[in-house]
Chains A and B, each alone.
Chain A
Amino acid sequence: MAESRIPESNPFVEIATHLFLEDIAAKVGVSGLNNYLVSLARNLANSMPKEEYGTWPEFLSALTTGQSILSTFEEVRPVTEHCMSTLRSPFERGWHEYAKRVGAFAPVHREVAQYYNHKVRPTAVTSVHVVLHTFREAAAARVRVGDRVVRYEPVATTWVDGEVQLPEDAKLEPLLKRAGISRTKLGMLLRNHSDVWLIESA
Chain B
Amino acid sequence: MIDVALASLIEDMIEKAGADGVVEFWQRVGDNLASRMGKEAYLGWTSFNVAVREGRTAFSIEGEVTPLTDMAVTDVDGDVVGYLYAMRQCCYVPTIFRTRFAVGRMSPADRAVTSEYNENVHNIAVCNFCVFHERFREEIAKNVTVSGNSLACYLLATRGWSGEAKISPKNVAQVNINEDHVRALLRNYECVYALVMRGARIKGDR
Binding partners A and B = yes
Interface residues of A (CB under 8 A from B): 5-10, 12-20, 22-23, 36, 39-41, 43-44, 47-49, 69, 72-74, 90-91, 94, 97, 101-103, 128, 131-132, 135
**Interface-located stretch among B94-102, B167-175, B179-187, B195-203:** B94-102
Determine whether the beta carbon of B104 is less than 8 Å from that of A6.
Answer: no
B29, B37, B103: the one contacting A44 at CB < 8 Å is: B103
Q: Which residues of A contact B112 (CB under 8 A)?
A: none
Q: What residues of A have a CB within 8 angstroms of the CB of B9 in the complex?
A: 17, 20, 36, 40
Q: A41 contacts which of B5, B25, B92, B97 (Cβ < 8 Å)?
A: B5
A48 touches B102 (CB 8 A): yes
Cβ-closest 10 pairs across A and B: A73-B1, A43-B8, A6-B101, A13-B3, A40-B8, A10-B91, A9-B3, A40-B9, A101-B61, A7-B94
**Shortest CB–CB separation between residue A129 and chain B, in angstroms?**
11
Chain B interface SS verdict (over half):
helix
**A13-B32 in contact (CB<8A):** no
Check B62 for interface membership: any CB of A closer than 8 A: yes
Query: Contacts A13-B129, A20-B25, A36-B12 hold; do A131 and B32 have CB atoms under 8 A apart?
Result: no
Decide: B12 and A23 in contact? CB cutoff 8 A: no
**Separation of A131 and B9 alpha carbons in the complex (Å):** 11
Closest beta carbon of chain B to A48's beta carbon, Å: 6
Q: Which of B's residues lie within 8 Å of A, judged by CB?
A: 1-6, 8-9, 11-12, 25-26, 28-29, 32-33, 36-37, 58, 60-63, 89, 91-92, 94-95, 97-98, 101-104, 107, 129, 132, 136
Please give, as numbers and ranges, the residues of chain A lying within 8 Å of B4 by CB-CB distance. Answer: 9, 44, 73
Residue in A19, A47, A128, A131 whose CB lies within 8 Å of B103: A47
Alpha-carbon gap, A48 to B7, bound state (A): 13
Question: Within 8 Å CB of A131, what residues of B?
Answer: 1-2, 5
Chain B residues within an 8 Å CB radius of A73: 1, 4, 102
Query: What are 24 A-B contacts with C-beta separation under 8 Å?
Result: A6-B97, A7-B94, A10-B94, A12-B62, A13-B95, A13-B129, A14-B3, A16-B29, A17-B6, A17-B9, A23-B28, A36-B9, A39-B12, A41-B5, A43-B11, A47-B107, A48-B103, A49-B104, A72-B101, A94-B3, A102-B61, A131-B2, A131-B5, A132-B1
Query: Which of A10, A41, A101 neighbours the largest number of chain B CB atoms within 10 Å of its CB?
Result: A10
Question: Could you tell me if B98 and A7 are in contact, using CB atoms closer than 8 angstroms?
Answer: yes
A23 near B32 (CB under 8 angstroms)? yes
Q: From B96, which residue of chain A is reached at the shortest CB distance?
A: A7
Besides A10-B3, A13-B92, A15-B61, 4 other A-B contacts (C-beta < 8 A) = A9-B98, A12-B91, A73-B102, A135-B5
In Å, the complex CA distance between A103 and B35 comes to: 12
A131 to B12, CA, bound (A): 15
Question: A17, B2: Cβ atoms under 8 Å?
Answer: yes
A6 with B95, Cβ < 8 A, contacts A20-B29, A23-B28, A90-B1 known: no
Give A43 to B102 CA distance when docked, in angstroms: 13
Would you give the shortest CB distance from B189 to chain A, in whole angstroms?
A: 15
